[in-house]
Amino acid sequence: MLGGKQIKLTVNERILLHLRRYYTPKNEVEAPQAVTQKGIADAIDIRVTHVPRSVKKLDEEGLIYESVMHIEGLDKRRKAYYLTEKGMYHANEIKRNLEERMVPFRDQDGKVKDIKITEIEGITGIKLDILELIRLLDREGILNQKSMELSAERTKLKAQKETMIFNFPHKVPVTKNFVGRKPEIESLRKWIKDDKVMFISLYGEAGIGKTSLVAKMISSFKDKSSIFWYAFSKEEGFEDMIEYLSEFSARLNRAELRNILRAKEKGLGEILKATIALSGTNAVLVFDVFDDTDIQSKRFFNLLFREINELDELKIIIIHRAPTTHYIKEAMDSDQFKGMELTGLDRKSCKAILGFKKLQKDEFERIFKLTEGNPLALKLIKSEDVGELKKSGKYTPDELTLIRYLKSLDKF
């Protein structure tokens, strides 16, 4: 070594660092192969026969626990190993101590110098797990940028093969009696398929059908992409959103965010890095009712949009009422940004929603002009719930009287 001492990790320390990347399941019955004895052996370059003794010791120390589970891609149930809360704390301590160590590094020009491990990503732009960095250091006695590039490419290809398609189907709204919007759906689909587009903003007035449109469009991607859907509310804010996102990320074998929350490292910077780690998963993240985000959420997204160039194979869809906000403006000038204002439905779609058979053309035109093609207003008229239209404050007393009169014509 140049200025630093040789890094020596025990087998048990390497196991802790490896398992740190995988979340602890709650009610799951299936585990990734990486947490089996063979998966552990492959990850830290030891024989499978050496694993039982190490995991037994770690179990006795309360750092891991064992569970017999179904394993992805295998027919039989096998033993799976996960970190306890104590184990996660120890693994994070090992990682933090390693990141401060000085190691010899050879850059792309062949120059060698001592640098901190924590500085390597900033210098090279290459993100590798700490365990992989130590493996390269063990193998060559020096961190070589070319070797790091090859390792990063192998890691990316492996992640693409291992990444599961996982959705939160109960979170995505169910669309009923959806009509029209073919041009808008095609535009959204085109943007989702475009590798350059990372961020999509859809906005429009209340009731215009933003949520229904995205839910309808995204249903065609549920077997091709992992879908995350979160609707902000006055009751649920940043902490709830991040908790849901960490569970989603972990199911895609991206456990960084869950690990941060478990280790109580909840700084926005750390959470941002862990969110960016979802790059490469081909996931679509939908954030609905974005206008109701709390202050912490706004700060987080402001930082995230500034890092839009770091996103890869990841789509973020924001649904909101206001046309622009200061945190969305951060991304608007980027080539990765696409925005759409959703306006009223066309006449054909409006007629389909109303379903009135006896309404004359001029009478329909008066309703169309009053509602401006707003789907919610049309559905309220059809359901005879004019009271809800009154609550919206959008219509004058004379207009509400006219709506009641036009509705009555269809009954005769």
Collapsing DSSP to helix, strand or coil, 400 comes out as: helix
- How many distinct structural domains can be found in the chain? 3
Domain-terminating residue out of 341, 372, 389:
341
Which residues neighbour 42 within 8 Å (Cβ) at sequence distance 6 or greater?
A: none
Q: Please give the Cα distance from 68 to 70 (Å, whole number).
A: 7
Instruction: Give residue 389's pLDDT.
Output: 53
Q: Are residues 118 and 79 in the same domain?
A: yes
- 71-112 pLDDT, tens digit per residue, is 876 667 889 999 998 998 899 899 988 888 888 888 888 888
Strand pairing report for 102-106 and 112-116: antiparallel
Domain-terminating residue out of 295, 322, 341:
341
Of the ranges 22-31, 184-193, 206-215, 337-346, the best mean pLDDT one: 184-193
Instruction: Give residue 3's pLDDT.
Output: 47
- Hey, which residues does 77 pair with through a beta bridge? 70
Q: Are residues 319 and 367 in the same domain?
A: no
Q: Residue 377 domain-assigned?
A: yes
Lowest mean pLDDT among 6-15, 100-109, 261-270: 261-270
Q: Are residues 316 and 332 in the same domain?
A: yes
263 in Cβ contact with 24 (< 8 Å): no
Q: Are residues 148 and 242 in the same domain?
A: no
Q: Are residues 402 and 285 in the same domain?
A: no
Q: What is the CATH number of the domain that holds 91?
A: 1.10.10.10
Q: Residue 1 domain-assigned?
A: no
- 114-151 pLDDT, tens digit per residue, is 888 888 888 888 888 888 888 887 676 788 888 888 88
| pLDDT grade for 12, boundaries at 50, 70 and 90 | very high
Which residues neighbour 7 within 8 Å (Cβ) at sequence distance 6 or greater?
A: 98, 101, 103, 134, 137
Per-residue pLDDT for 62 more than 90?
Answer: yes
> 315: exposed, middle or buried (C-beta count within 10 Å: 0-12, 13-18, 19+)?
buried
Q: Please give the Cα distance from 13 to 97 (Å, whole number).
A: 12
Per-residue pLDDT for 412 more than 50?
Answer: no
Instruction: Give residue 394's pLDDT.
Output: 57
* pLDDT > 70 in the chain, percent: 78
Question: Which domain covers residue 199, as residue numbers?
Answer: 182-341
Q: Are residues 223 and 201 in the same domain?
A: yes
Q: Are residues 88 and 24 in the same domain?
A: yes
Instruction: Give residue 282's pLDDT.
Output: 80
Q: Are residues 141 and 257 in the same domain?
A: no
Q: Please give the Cα distance from 71 to 78 (Å, whole number).
A: 7
Strand pairing report for 77-83 and 112-116: unpaired
Lowest mean pLDDT among 60-64, 251-255, 323-327, 336-340: 323-327
Per-residue pLDDT for 328 more than 60?
Answer: yes
| pLDDT grade for 409, boundaries at 50, 70 and 90 | very low
How far CA 340 is from CA of 69, 169, 183, in Å, comes to 46, 25, 12
Instruction: Give residue 332's pLDDT.
Output: 66
The pTM of the full predicted model, rounded to 2 decimals, is 0.60
Q: Are residues 103 and 156 in the same domain?
A: yes
Q: Between these two residues, 362 and 318, which has the higher pLDDT value?
A: 318
Q: Residue 260 domain-assigned?
A: yes
Backbone φ and ψ for 22, nearest 5 degrees, come out as -120, 130
Which tokens is 229 given?
A: 């859907």
Instruction: Give residue 324's pLDDT.
Output: 62
| Residue-averaged pLDDT of the chain | 78
Per-residue pLDDT for 5 more than 60?
Answer: no
| pLDDT grade for 229, boundaries at 50, 70 and 90 | confident
